[in-house]
Structure 1
């Protein structure tokens, strides 16, 4: 991108951010150069603390890619296989999960298991959707209480259906197979080899000073999302990161620093089409609607909106993360139109 184009993009990002009251971070990297790194609004609205490009921000389901990589690293070392059944590690837990559901089904959202947080149920983003006190959800095993009791929706492998619970089950299986707590698996097998210095699962009731709060508008007031989400996320979400670390992540992924290039190719190969979404899905990663060479991570939850696009051939990463459920999408559309489509 020429310098004038960089300036035009920055001006358009500034304009859309101002028009929408965006609070969050935007970053664009290409071919080893950071073309845009900008922060807008407040990371802490009560105390008037400004967002910065180095602020740690929650990415919700963007974490699923890191869960998938932690699992795939266990596949590479023989601790698991894509054909390992969930039942072989669950024992008598979660008895409604069918006996033939495998790691591969769960990674690709084709398991058919009932979801504890079904996004087709039209639950308002402001709802207190968790069925147990959120402060009790501080380990992966603690999620057994919210995962249980959901009948199978369709036979394993029959079709794609986005399933948050499936990635919590993956975290549980990885933890049980390896004997290592899931959060440590992600730190040791994803964050450390990728050089992610500012990426981690953080407790929402004990956020460090550099972390932004997520916000939900309720009764005409902005309130933090601390009562809406598990106090400590697991396989389906809960990681905080920075724009710089997201770029490091994509670079490390396609350099083979996390798992082998063959495994990466398996994970970003389009396998399924998503209903009412033009994109395709691999194993833990979205794939662009028309370009097999552009992969995506996305997150949406109470107080979080996140999209990161990566074109490895061009060394291009475009990331937007906002601190409300809708904040990121106007800017994400702008970046996609200008840089990808």
Structure 2
């Protein structure tokens, strides 16, 4: 999800981030034909994951193109698979609206709040090593945190800290949009949060907040004795076999990559945000990956490959979010049985989820974060795809009650 900011404009890394300002027309080549209406979905009484043969692929093609057309998405890549059922891997539209370069499955993409799954996994590995405890107060590791003697690491990872979301601060928004290429230090981000009063007492309710992950990133560094970038590389990416995923040290963005388009700008006009410096999202949303690595990562997160069974069981204890059918655990969502996370930051959205009962993996990567009728396009793709292949488990993650459309429901980053 994203934050629930209180300002007119806020930038989140997660569920919903963008404001519904100037929605661009579909890029040339993004939809190459007049599209029929989506085919009817199977009834909710159908069970079992279908074979991903030509008939299902045709239905998926139609549904994905329909979402692209309606939400003005320039380009999208989808990877869907389940053991014994085949796989569906397709790209649609353009990676660069300026020159019409087609989208393709091998492109690097910014993954926004999916970064949270990596940061929290690194934290949980420290739990398994006995270096931290989930019920430790954050004040044991970081000074001057409001309510720091009461907020636990578990509260932070569960999005129940009560801290103000820095990416909803008006001063932060102005600083970022006036100079999107400037770097931010983690303490600068915390300063934007800590000047606000706490929103509620720890554990009282769910509220998506990027501040929580900045603090957890600092805990990983302090307790693990190495920079977060190195901790994630050595303790998470390498053991998981992810060779095209990185936590950038600066604004670097490996090639080939898609260009990303956003309306979260100072003027509200749509701009190319490809090279915006991701340090503003840091442990909450700065990472980069590609389709194949995320298809590998989905079951690792959902099944706990890198963690002890006891710690994974703690991770899967999702708590209510106020959104029907959606729970949030230690850095993961469970939405109608699909476990994983979405990501959103200026120019990009992603969705990486796993359905344990079918051992099914779904990854969606796209190059815009502009909302369509206050719904994130990644959610629209998730809905359309799961209605066809898992009608009893339809992915649906709307903006939380009260969230401003300019920030989105999910995490920025």
TM-score between both structures, scaled by the size of structure 2: 0.72
Query: Hey, what's the Cα distance between the residues in 2 that align with 1:285 and 1:254?
Result: 9
In structure 1, which of residues 103, 110, 119 is the aligned counterpart of residue 160 of structure 2?
Answer: 110
CA contact (8 A) 1:60 1:300 kept: yes
| Residue 37 to residue 232, structure 1, CA distance change in 2 (3 Å) | farther
Query: Hey, what's the Cα distance between the residues in 2 that align with 1:96 and 1:137?
Result: 25
Aligned to 1:210: 256
Aligned to 1:259: 307
Aligned to 2:407: none
Aligned to 2:316: 268
Query: Hey, what's the Cα distance between the residues in 1 that align with 2:234 and 2:302?
Result: 18
CA contact (8 A) 2:176 2:182 kept: no
Shift in Å, 1:220: 8.8
Shift in Å, 1:232: 6.3
Aligned to 2:131: 79
Shift in Å, 1:257: 3.1
Segments of structure 1 that go 5 or more residues without pairing to the other structure are none
In structure 2, which of residues 213, 219, 239 is the aligned counterpart of residue 193 of structure 1?
Answer: 239
Secondary structure in structure 1 of the residue aligned to 2:243: coil
Aligned to 2:34: none
Aligned to 1:238: 286
CA contact (8 A) 1:132 1:146 kept: no
Query: Hey, what's the Cα distance between the residues in 1 that align with 2:268 and 2:202?
Result: 43
Secondary structure in structure 2 of the residue aligned to 1:265: helix
CA contact (8 A) 1:202 1:232 kept: no
Shift in Å, 1:285: 0.6
In structure 2, which of residues 82, 94, 107 is the aligned counterpart of residue 42 of structure 1?
Answer: 94
Secondary structure in structure 2 of the residue aligned to 1:253: helix
Matched, 1:5 2:60: no
Aligned to 1:313: 357
Once structures 1 and 2 are overlaid, which stretch shifts more, 165-174 or 28-37? 28-37
Shift in Å, 1:318: 1.3
CA contact (8 A) 1:98 1:113 kept: no
CA contact (8 A) 2:262 2:271 kept: yes
Query: Hey, what's the Cα distance between the residues in 2 that align with 1:284 and 1:211?
Result: 26
Shift in Å, 1:134: 5.0
Shift in Å, 1:239: 1.3
Aligned to 1:31: 83
* 1:115-264 mapped onto 2 (5 Å cutoff): 115-118=165-168, 128=174, 130=176, 134-137=180-183, 139-141=185-187, 143-202=189-248, 205-217=251-263, 222-225=270-273, 230-231=278-279, 233-254=281-302, 256-264=304-312
Query: Hey, what's the Cα distance between the residues in 2 that align with 1:27 and 1:324?
Result: 18
1:97-129 deviation per Cα after TM superposition (whole angstroms, max 9, x unaligned): 4311111010101111122124xx8x8xxx657
Secondary structure in structure 2 of the residue aligned to 1:189: helix
CA contact (8 A) 1:305 1:321 kept: yes
Query: Hey, what's the Cα distance between the residues in 1 that align with 2:270 and 2:102?
Result: 16
Query: Hey, what's the Cα distance between the residues in 2 that align with 1:168 and 1:131?
Result: 20
| Residue 220 to residue 133, structure 1, CA distance change in 2 (3 Å) | closer
Aligned to 2:410: none
Shift in Å, 1:172: 1.1
Over aligned residues, Cα RMSD in angstroms? 2.8
Q: How many residues align?
A: 329
TM-score between both structures, scaled by the size of structure 1: 0.85
1:1-27 deviation per Cα after TM superposition (whole angstroms, max 9, x unaligned): 232323432343344435544312111
Segments of structure 2 that go 5 or more residues without pairing to the other structure are 1-49, 372-376, 394-413
CA contact (8 A) 1:110 1:160 kept: yes
Shift in Å, 1:280: 1.0
Secondary structure in structure 2 of the residue aligned to 1:98: coil
Matched, 1:287 2:334: yes
Once structures 1 and 2 are overlaid, which stretch shifts more, 223-232 or 160-169? 223-232
CA contact (8 A) 2:111 2:350 kept: yes
| Residue 297 to residue 160, structure 1, CA distance change in 2 (3 Å) | same
CA contact (8 A) 1:108 1:283 kept: yes
| Residue 131 to residue 89, structure 1, CA distance change in 2 (3 Å) | farther
